Structure formats: C-alpha cells, structure tokens
Structure 1
Amino acid sequence: MNLLQGALGGTSFPDPERLLANLSWEDASRSVIGVPYTLAGLLAHLAVTARASLDLAAGRAENWPDDLDAWPGVADEAAFRTLLVELRLGLTEARALADSPSDRARDILTDLAAHSAYHWGQVALLRRVLGVWPEGE
C-alpha cells in the first residue's frame, strides 16, 4: 500500500471499515444536540463527494457537477444500507486508482483523502458521542 492509498483510509485515520462496523440505521439516524447532521447524513455526504471525485479521477467526468447535492438526505433503512455499500465500493475504487495514478488523478485523490479524513474524524466523534463506538476500543 502506498502513502496515497493509506491516506484514503486506514493508516492516516481509523479504518473506515471499523467506523462503519455494526452501525445500525437506528443509531445512524439519531440526532445529536448542536450537530447539524446525523451520522447517516454525514456518511451520505462522504459517499456523494467521493463518487464525484472518483468520476473525475477515473476520467468519467471532466468537471465537478454543478448541480451536486453535497448533503443529500437518507430516507430510510434501505437507502442507508445502499449507502454503506456505496461507501465501501468507493473506498475500494479510490485505493485502486491510487495505485498508479495520473497527475490529475493524484491531485484529485489527495484532495479526496484530506476531505474524507476530516469527515471520518467526525464519524468517529459522533459514534463516541452516541455511545455506539465499535467494540474493541
């Protein structure tokens, strides 16, 4: 694993798989006083911005989408389960793209890594505040 792959999750901050472990819809949709989003909303933001970044890095898009809803809602448990799959697939794709990226892809993935690290930290904090930190820590 190279430095960029590690920065996309697992070595520079807690492994996203660990942060997603045993996270239920019930807990992810709970509000925390003073926090403007739920865990589900935060994860949706991570997923949608990762998808737009990965489309750019992989050459499927030329520009950031002007109409992107960067903070989409998560309507129900089925949508939440789909979101978790999308997050995991995005992490896998990001790490694969980071294996030998073009200059453009490296720049985009570096930005994605920094953005994601910030928000994965928020995920960790919210899980602790909600009392649903993954077991073993």
Structure 2
Amino acid sequence: MTMQERIAKNKMSLIELAEYLQNVSEACKIHGVSRQHFYDIKKAYEEEGLEGLKDKTRRKPCLKNRVVPEIEEAVMRIAYEKPAYGQLRASNELRKQGVLVSAGGVRSIWQRHEIETFEKRL
C-alpha cells in the first residue's frame, strides 16, 4: 500500500466514522482534525470519489523540454560534430548558423542527454 493509498484510506475512515456515529464533531475529535477539514475531505470525496481523497501536489510542473526540438537537435548535432567545443563556443557557432540558444541552454540540453563532458561527447 502506497503512502497516497494510506492517506486516502485514513480520510475515508473519517467519513465512515462520521456516518456511523451520526456526529461529525465527535468523529473529528477522535481523528484529531477540524470540522472544516472534514467537510473539505467530504466535498472532495463527493466530487471525485477515492481519487479526491489522495493528496494532490501543488508543485509547478517541471517541463523537461523547454526548447523547441529543432534547437535541441542542432545542439546535439554540433556536440557530436565538434566534441571539443565548450558550451560558450557551441552557443556562438549555433548563433552564426541562426540558432539562438544561450551557453546555459546548451549546458542544460547536454545534461539532459548526459553528454556534459568532452569524453561523453566522443
């Protein structure tokens, strides 16, 4: 049983206890939660079912591909054609070809493809 499933099961037991006791305040005291939290849980359960009881992340999604595929392809091409080039020189060479990407962008792409060192680009 995963942590998310345990959390959902615990919240479900609170709802079931409140129904069994016919007293929300008493069920909340036993579980050690506020009545407002109980009603938030109940609303989530009524709207989404068991999925609504699982904790949701508030974290912003981390987008791995922040550059367009054409730029990434150009960076990878120059990395293998000229493995001795560093981030700055690769960025400058790409700029001459009309591909605008910073040295940091080159580094990020290389890290994503695990070719950040000269030896790995050979």
Q: Which category describes the TM-score, using the shorter chain as reference length?
A: under 0.3
- The structure with more radius of gyration: 2
Q: Per chain length, whose mean CA-contact separation is higher, i.e. which structure has more relative contact order (CA < 8 Å, sep 6+)? A: 1
Q: Which has the higher helix share?
A: 2
TM-score (norm 1): 0.23
